[in-house]
Amino acid sequence: VPEGDTVHVAARKLHRALAAQRIERSDFRVPRFATTDLRGQTVREVDARGKHILMRTDAGVTVHSHFAMEGEWRIYAANARARGPNHEMRAVLDTERARAVGYRLAILEVLRTANEDDVVGHLGPDPLRADWDAAEAARRMKQHGGDTISDALLDQTIVAGWGNVYRNEINFLRGHHPERLVRDCDVEATIALGARLLRANRERAGQVTTGNLRDKNWVYSRARLPCMRCGATIEKRNDTARVTYWCPACQPG
């Protein structure tokens, strides 16, 4: 499941491969944009906001994509054969130097760059961007005082970037039971910790929250294993789309 740091890494790779390159062929395999043709436009930059990727051209056009659970962009040499099943390819962009292929993209759309706010304007501050604003993030989270901290950490309109791995790990590191309400949490400290974790992983693929590459996470994906801090058995609950893990001793109810 891609989290914000994974998406930023992907955007930087795309930027390095495509920026300043002229598009020689574009192929969008979604009905609405099947006839959209970006040939002749030059890629200006590839940017990320939260889990959204924004590829902008010199013609004022943005290709907006979102991975959701399984999407990815892969970069190949120019004219190389793309791997993977054809039906999973949603977008193919060819430049003189590289071929970029988007697989299983949950969102793929082409819009005017001037209208980007229509698709990403709802997002909260992103800890991986230069315009990160921790105070604004805290203000937004406090407006959700009656929500559980688990819901608030996943709400991309509060902070754009955390997914389910970080949600579970932030709660462990702050000693929050997953059902604790936002109003009973130290919002500023929670946001500061979550921002630090995202930044610590900005240059690598994968979410290390323990500082240890072998045992990467405290509770995520560790159901029935002993807590690495106290030895209690990690619990798991699966009653929503997102799986919850917690240590009953370190995160009392």
Q: Is 248 annotated in the active site?
A: no
Cβ of residue 221: shortest distance to Zn ion, in angstroms? Answer: 16
Catalytic pick from 3, 127, 216, 222?
3
Nearer to Zn ion, 93 or 250 (CB): 250
Q: Is 51 annotated in the active site?
A: yes
Cα separation, 77 vs 239, whole angstroms: 44
DSSP character for 186? -
Let me know: does 67 contact 7? Beta carbons within 8 Å: yes
Cα separation, 211 vs 251, whole angstroms: 20
Let me know: does 197 contact 166? Beta carbons within 8 Å: yes
Nearer to Zn ion, 138 or 247 (CB): 247
Q: Is 85 annotated in the active site?
A: no
Measured in whole angstroms, how far is the alpha carbon of residue 101 from the centre of its chain? 18
Task: Based on the shown chain and the rule CB under 5 A, indicate whether residue 173 belongs to the binding site for Zn ion.
Answer: no
b (16+ CB within 10 A) / e for 75-86: bbeeeeeeeeee
CA dihedral 166, 167, 172, 174 (to 10 degrees): 100
- What are 93's strand-pairing partners? 26, 100
Q: Within positions 220 to 249, which residues make up the interface with Zn ion, using CB under 5 A?
A: 227, 229-230, 232, 247, 249
Q: Is 226 annotated in the active site?
A: no
Nearer to Zn ion, 68 or 249 (CB): 249
Cβ of residue 45: shortest distance to Zn ion, in angstroms? Answer: 44
Nearer to Zn ion, 104 or 229 (CB): 229
Nearer to Zn ion, 1 or 248 (CB): 248
Cβ of residue 252: shortest distance to Zn ion, in angstroms? Answer: 10
Task: Based on the shown chain and the rule CB under 5 A, indicate whether residue 174 belongs to the binding site for Zn ion.
Answer: no
Both tokens of residue 98? 């590289």
Cβ of residue 245: shortest distance to Zn ion, in angstroms? Answer: 11
Task: Based on the shown chain and the rule CB under 5 A, indicate whether residue 250 belongs to the binding site for Zn ion.
Answer: yes
Both tokens of residue 28? 């969008």
Catalytic pick from 2, 125, 127, 178?
2
Q: Give the dihedral sign, CA 180/186/191/197.
A: negative
Cβ of residue 222: shortest distance to Zn ion, in angstroms? Answer: 11
Q: Within positions 75 to 94, which residues make up the interface with Zn ion, using CB under 5 A?
A: none
Please compute Rg for the chain using Cα positions.
20
Question: Catalytic residues, which ones?
Answer: 2-3, 51, 242
Residues lying near Zn ion in the complex (CB under 5 A): 227, 229-230, 232, 247, 249-250
